[in-house]
A and B are shown apart, each in its own frame.
Chain A
């Protein structure tokens, strides 16, 4: 093993070889990170455009133009698809997973480096395929990210035949990329751990990414089959989802949500993992009930497979089924609540340092709680009759997805930035960015809970047609939400400036600036090619902080007793 590490370290690849054709997990992580950030900018821009239409209806949107109904549909569809498939997944799972799993389990690279490279290349192809759909005749697909047939299956209905097919192929390619990635994450964690690292010594983030990968791999198969059938319906005039020819549109809904709901936990678990790492370090505390956290994560993963039809209570399924899925859905609140309580309990007796990463981690818990409790209204079949597909749903899942894909990602980026780039971020700018993101975020979505409760339905381009919805007080709420979004987006430039400025001008980071106990902090920042000069041996769990009878307040995993 040592010889291999040396030979890799001595290789001097050219620019293309190093940054575009690399099999190094750290480079691939950066490719995923920057692609994800670029896609986030596009998704954020779309949100700005359609929120402008809702806040200031039928006016020229600066930087876009007039939003017509067709364009509006395309914008919301692309915003949803991009943010979930091309932002949350590549950053949370692929970027953090690729960068951190080998470093945290103490090995030199992924188990299958070439599969890893292929995974990113397919992912990039999928992103380009999606963006290319903006250039074809009819424009991009506008049938919502859920793509219910027959609308998505038939060009005569959706009027974007090329865009719909390209969307579908892009999504399917993205799934392939993450199947390859998931295999890598799981195998690396199971087989390449440093000697001495037992199952319960694995850092929580690594566990969470592995669990997420397993959930993803187990749930995506049916949807890939469904996507192929939809592709046939679109291009070869088959009738899998066409009731006139014996097909059934509900079949797609089941296949989609059988994947779609576990997908929520696929991105939630890595976010919870990041928060666990940050909490332990900045509270100088062992994670409260490591094993219980892990078991609750398994329970969440298992339950996530039996809740999907809560998206379909009023979809025309047998109404008796709603009761069963209501029960399983509310049941999932138990392990999730328990996990959050364990995180809060970790603070007890700690010595809490409110550095930027910790602010983001605490912000995650505070905001995710809103998303969690509002989910109960939707999981309860009775209230879902009214709230289904209203802005209440939108506000609810943004209170889960923004903490996941934005807040936890910032927690992770600000925490591991020194390790990734060998420089420290500016703390003052970091704190300005934190408050400038979290406060407007609440001002965006609290009004939307109210408009949803007042009956605003989703994906509606203008409420002028609806007397009940056209009331001025509701329009004020929509405008407030739009303005808050603009403020929040503006503050993201503070982060971008901090990120790129610190790459060159930040304070140099030593190996372990946060005094953390996990393995990635035992090697220089940034880690050299091959990671560990000498592969480490592990003697204890990842969160040994405040151990009585030691001079230092933490004990790294690789230091012998």
Chain B
């Protein structure tokens, strides 16, 4: 259902979509039942001359059932939804499958920058690959991310991955994703972060393993480590610069 509106490009996107459908079905039933009752009763009991009102207090046993039975069925529906919600939440946020690679995501007013550990697999060494605006990842690879903020609260959202996590200054928040579809996907900041909030865009480029390996090789030498690799990211950078002025 969600995929009709937006591509699903990570392994857990579908479990969120399925949960969405489950909830839609259950609450949809209650919604239609309640609206039907509301409209039906309004039509049926329109004022008519000579038809007296019934005196009902709501304490009558046979009428109370109309409230108490739905009451228990709603509790039942809630339990079903909760089971689904907690399962999905647990899989995405409380467990982290073993990583194939790690990436550091740094938010600041109003740009995304990314740090890959390079061939030695350790952050903050000379061979790290740093990019601004664009994050290159390989398909079917489990990534752990370390999310940091340099100033205010930001939120790292990749709608196509169904991924969202706030970034807080002063701490590193970890999470994971596993892209399973090639393509370029938006990163949006979803926490109000000041003047350039609406312009704080980034992109995730999901490549094949070979393309990604080639990309890594291209930038994984100390000489080019600090340069900003992609020409596309310049456009985002210039918008941010414009706003800062």
Contacts and interface: CB of A to CB of B under 8 A. Distances in A.
Interface of A: 69-70, 72-73, 142-144, 146, 148-151, 154, 157-159, 243-244, 248-250, 283-290, 292, 313-316, 319-320, 322-323, 326-327, 330-331, 333-334, 337-338, 340-342, 344-354, 362, 365-366, 369-370, 373-374, 376-377, 380-383, 385-386, 388-390, 450, 453-455, 457-462, 465-469, 545-548, 553
Nearest to A451: B5
Nearest to A377: B23
B159 to A, nearest CB: 3
Nearest to B88: A382
B15 to A, nearest CB: 8
Nearest to A244: B170
Given A341-B67, A350-B45, 14 more contacts: A151-B193, A287-B58, A288-B56, A288-B58, A314-B164, A345-B58, A347-B42, A382-B87, A383-B19, A386-B20, A389-B157, A390-B190, A465-B239, A468-B160
Interface string B162-178: 11111111110100000
Contacts of B121: none
B131 interface: no
B2 A386 contact: yes
Interface residues of B, number: 95
A283 B45 contact: yes
Contacts of A461: 197-199
A72 B47 contact: no
B78 A331 contact: yes
Contact of A292 (B28, B52, B56, B58): B58
A353 B46 CA distance: 7
A334 B78 contact: yes
Contacts of B198: 69, 72-73, 459-462, 465
A267 B197 CA distance: 30
B71 to A, nearest CB: 6
Contact of A348 (B41, B84, B186): B41
B120 interface: no
Contacts of B41: 344, 347-348
Given A72-B198, A150-B153, A351-B52, A316 B165 contact: yes
Interface stretch (B29-37, B135-143, B207-215): B29-37
A87 B75 CA distance: 34
Interface of B: 2, 5-7, 15-16, 19-20, 23-24, 26-28, 30-31, 34-35, 37-39, 41-42, 45-48, 51-59, 63-64, 66-67, 70-71, 74-75, 78, 81-82, 84-90, 92-94, 109, 151-153, 155, 157, 159-160, 162-171, 173, 184-186, 188-199, 201, 203, 236, 239, 243
Contacts, number: 302
A385 B194 contact: no
A385 B16 contact: yes
A334 B73 CA distance: 10
Given A73-B197, A345-B67, A243 B74 contact: no
Specify which of A322, A333, A341 lies most central, judged by the most chain B CB atoms within 10 Å of its CB: A341
Given A157-B109, A288-B58, A331-B78, A466 B186 contact: yes
Contacts of A333: 74, 78
A342 B70 CA distance: 11
B58 A382 contact: no
A-B interface, 5 closest residue pairs, ranked by CB to CB distance from nearest: A243-B170, A382-B88, A546-B53, A289-B58, A349-B54
A468 B161 CA distance: 12
Contacts of A380: 19, 23, 81-82, 84-85
Specify which of A289, A345, A388, A455 lies most central, judged by the most chain B CB atoms within 10 Å of its CB: A455
A337 B70 contact: yes
A365 B35 CA distance: 9
Nearest to A378: B23
B38 A316 contact: no
A292 to B, nearest CB: 7
Given A316-B171, A322-B93, A334-B75, A455 B166 contact: no
A351 B30 contact: no
Contacts of A553: 52-53
Contacts of B5: 450, 453-455
8 contacts: A69-B198, A72-B198, A149-B152, A243-B171, A283-B45, A345-B63, A349-B45, A350-B45
Contact of A385 (B45, B56, B164, B239): B164
A370 B2 CA distance: 19
Given A151-B192, A159-B195, A386-B164, A330 B6 contact: no
B197 A385 contact: no
A365 B36 CA distance: 12
B40 to A, nearest CB: 9
